[in-house]
Structure formats: C-alpha cells, structure tokens
Structure 1
Amino acid sequence: MPTPSIRGLWPALLIPVHADGSVDTPRAIAHAHHLLGSGCDGITLCGTTGEGLAFTVAERNALLESMLGSGIGPHRIVVTTTALALADAIELGQHAARLGVHRQMCMPPFYFNNPSDDGVMDFYRQLIEGIGDEQLQLLLYHFPAISTYGFSHDTIRTLVERHPQHIAGIKDSSGDLEHSLGLARAFPHLSVLVGSEPHVAPTMCVGGAGSINGMANIAPRLMQRVMAKPHAVSPADSQTINDLLAILFFKPSVSFIAAYKGMLAEQTGDDAWLRVRTPLSAMESTDLQTLRSRYRALGTALNSL
C-alpha cells in the first residue's frame, strides 16, 4: 500500500499585512523561515488562517513567487487554491505547478450552499484537468463550517478512484475527533492531516499523516513534540495546547485569526502583526490587553513553544 505523500507539520501560515491591507511580504517570508527553522516540515500558504481568500489571485501568486525566491524549496510548500470561481482556482494551481509546487489544497466552492456530491466531484474533475499537472498532489479540504459541504467516505473513494494519481489526502478541519479517526482508518494510503490541535496525536496514533494547523505559527516546537511521540504526549504539553486554545477563543466576537496574530505580536514584540485584512477587524484595545495578559500568564510554558 502506498505511503501517504504529505506528512508532518505544515503550519497554516499567518500572513502579515501593511496598514493599507496589502501583503507585508518581507515579514511573511521571515515568519515562514522561522517556522521552517523551528522544525516544521513545510508551510501551507493562503489557507483559512492565512486569510487567503481575502487576497486576489495576483497577490497570492506574487507571495508564492517571493517565498520561492527567498530560498524555500517548492517541496516545502502546500499552496491553497481555494477560490470562488473555478477559473481562479485553476489559475492558482497552474501557476504553482509551473513553479514546481505540486502540493496543493482546495476547498469545494462555497458561493452556493450545500452543493451536491456530483457537483463537487465535477468541480474537482475540472480543477485537476484544468491544472493539467501530472505531478499534482491534491488535498481535499474538509471544512464544512465554511464550505457548507462535508466529504463523505463514498465521495472520497469515488474521487480517488477517478483521480488515483492526483488525490493525495484530506485536510480535516471539522474539529470532530471521531471524524478524523474515521478518515485515518478508512484511508490509510492517503495523507490525513488534522487541523484541530488536540486531535493531532490521537489521529496519528491510528494512521494520520500529520497536521496543518494555526497553532504552529506560535508554538512550532510544541506541535513538533506532540507529533514526534503521539502515543506519549506529556501532560504539560497537552495542558499548554488547551491553555493556548482558551486564549484563542477567549471572546466569541474576536476572530481566531486576529487572536493568533495578537499572540504572535506579543511573542515577537512586533505589533505590525496585529493588522488583519478586511472584512476582519483588529482587536479592540481592551480585548488585546486581555489577550496579552492571558498569554503572559502561561509563564514558563512560553519557553517551550
């Protein structure tokens, strides 16, 4: 049976922006190199945590080119090609493939709610044929809270049967442990990459290939330790993950992206990280003060992130 082709830790890269909302490319590159230097296997570009869909096709393509130009190998990047229009997703995929970035991830189209299985499968057929890359390794992006569509096991099997050389795996952002475990058990030949940090180790214990998650932006060493020994995660590391998640979701009206950027600003001492791209909004000063205080309260645990 083939070994899953995409394994390990691939942080969903936070993307810094300037005051006018444009991509802050130098900071993004520096952050990517920091994560790779901290032991991450690669980075995931322009995903949900990276506000990818808030950026144009041209901006996303330019950022990829800059990442590659900075010395990051194409094999260390997963490019997210999710887009409202099929033609845009194809353009993003073709551009990445021309640059040697064959690992790609795409969510089903979500402009129309609850698309049919047949419609979704036809979308992926047209996407794969449109990209036209013999080396394409495509991750199906399962995130029903955003796309309103969830991949059934039958649909995944059908897609793999129709595109055996190109469907590499599933990114599971359901936040449902039983769902992640079911995917890993049902598809041991695919790369099942979990987004929910507490579910990474349990899923790896039954065959999961790794994780694409947001927490690795601020705690790459923590997530590396968890994944290195998924059967023996220390109580301290488990507690730190839970503590970070409590900070992340400390207030329902604060987006998790703004909260992650707030923690990264506190961690690096660089408040440029506080900016987000519209339609998101930066945290109000009182909320930011609360987040900073709770982050600092982690004390010595911060030394191991």
Structure 2
Amino acid sequence: MPSSTPAVAATAPAPAPPPRPALAPDDLRLLRLLAAGITVPVIAGQLDISPSSVSERVRALRATVGARTTVHAVSLGVLHGVTTCAHVPLRPGTPVVRDEHRPVLHAACSGDSAAQIAARLHRSRPSVDQILTRLRYSFSADNRAHLAAAALLTGRVPCSAADDRFPPLPLPQHCTRPGPPGKDTTVFAVITHGTDVLLIRPHARTRWEFPHAAAGTGAHSRQRAAVHAALLHSGVKVFADTVIGERPDPHTDTLLAFVACTYISGTPLAATPDAAQVHWAPIATVLTRLPHLYPPVRIHLNGLLEQHR
C-alpha cells in the first residue's frame, strides 16, 4: 500500500567546524607571526634559534591544528579566532578583488600550491603566478600566508574557501575590522627592531614620541590601534605583541595605553602631514634622554637591551 506521506529527499547534515585546538603560548605566537607574513629565517632571528628548528616547530604546529600546509594552518588560525586583525598588518580600506581572480584567491586560502591551483582551475602555471602576485599587491601581503590571513580577516573570501568544514560566510564584520574611534583611549605603539625603537616628531612640536592612534571598541582594540598607528604615521608593518601598561593622562580624562610591537617590514616615512619626521632611535639613547618615560615602557625597553647583550 503506497504511503500517503510525500517523500522527502535526504539531506546530508552540514559538517561541524573542527574544535579549536589547544595551542601553547609559543605555538600561538608562531602561528601569528606566520600570519603576519614573517618568514622562517626572520622568525629564527627573532627567537634566536636556527631556521631548521623553526621549520620543525612549524611542522608540529600544522599537525596540532590539523592543517595540510603552513598557509592552511594560518587560515585555520583565523577561522578559529586565535589570529585576528590585531596580529596581522592589513592594508587600509577594502582590497579590490576582480571576479576572475576569486577562484585563485579561494584556492590559495585553502593552502593549495600554485601548481595545484593551476591543475584545479585548468589554468597555466604562469597565469596563476601572475594572479597571485596581483593579489598580494592588492592586499599589501608579503607572502602567501599573509595573503590568506588578510583575505579572510577582511571578509573578501568566505570561511568555507579555506576549509569546507566552516560555513560559506565571511567572518563577522565586527570581529575583523577596526571599530569606531574610541574617545577615551589613545594607544601608543612601542615599535622595536633589534636595539632601536621607532619615534615620530609631529609638525609644530619639538619632542619625539611613539606613533599613536585612538583605540576602537571590542576585543583586541588596543593591538588593532597600535598596528593602525604604525601604518598611519610611519608606513611600516608591525606585529602587535602585548599591552605593556595603561595610565590616565594627567591633563585630560584620556586613558593612555602602550603596546609592544615588533617591526615586520617597510621603510619609515612621514606617511601623513601629522608626522614631520620618522626615524629609528637607539633604545639606549631614548632611555637616557627621556627620564620621565612611563616606567613599564622603560622596563620593557631595558629588557630588550639585555636580550641583545
């Protein structure tokens, strides 16, 4: 006897996103450095270990997060929310991606190599290389890992492009872009490179100071503001590490926050009319000539000097 109930097509349930991996602090820092576009030799110099040791740690990191490649591991870090725009230098504004370049960008975020992308999309290898170069330029990305992180953080590709276990939606806007300017907090980026620290001297002022910007709202707002301040005032890309300390301005109601930043790339320039001069100053000189430097910042800079002795 035929059933009176209409047949319903069976639909496979959507795969559940993988659980967020438990990463040790050192692994988390390594993942974020890779997402920021820092290469293995540079990471080795920063951590004072050999490049082969860094490569071994990267292989172990890929296994921990369940990634096929390093780029895939970086993408998973963004999708799991452990890498945010506070850790990745992003180009101001929204990068433009041409429609014909989107399939290449999607495949790149999944961790495929240029040869694999060419085979999948039935394109020539030189044409894929050319598109990847253009995409890196559009996103101001230093390498493929940086490109993947930037594309996901800016919402230019859906999460599923990097890993089909995640939904076909871009990352939430409020999690990936700087929030509205904060009225009560100014963030100073303490950018160091070796034994030097980056300073700016704005027009109509005689004193040197750290690059700074108003903080937005939400999680990681201070780190985001520090990365933004570096690009805005000097044109350099940085990795925002940790908040050194905060104190109220003695003359206003503004809260002053100081964020330790590691230099990644770029030549310091007077990037805006507000920054008349930008240059690297020896940390030892800064500590001597600025006796009233905020104590936690002084301790931070002293610690860096000790590491390089």
For normalisation by structure 1, the TM-score amounts to: 0.32
- Whose helix fraction is larger, Structure 1's or Structure 2's? 1
Higher relative contact order (CA 8 A, sep 6+): 1
Larger radius of gyration: 2
- Whose strand fraction is larger, Structure 1's or Structure 2's? 2
For normalisation by structure 2, the TM-score amounts to: 0.32
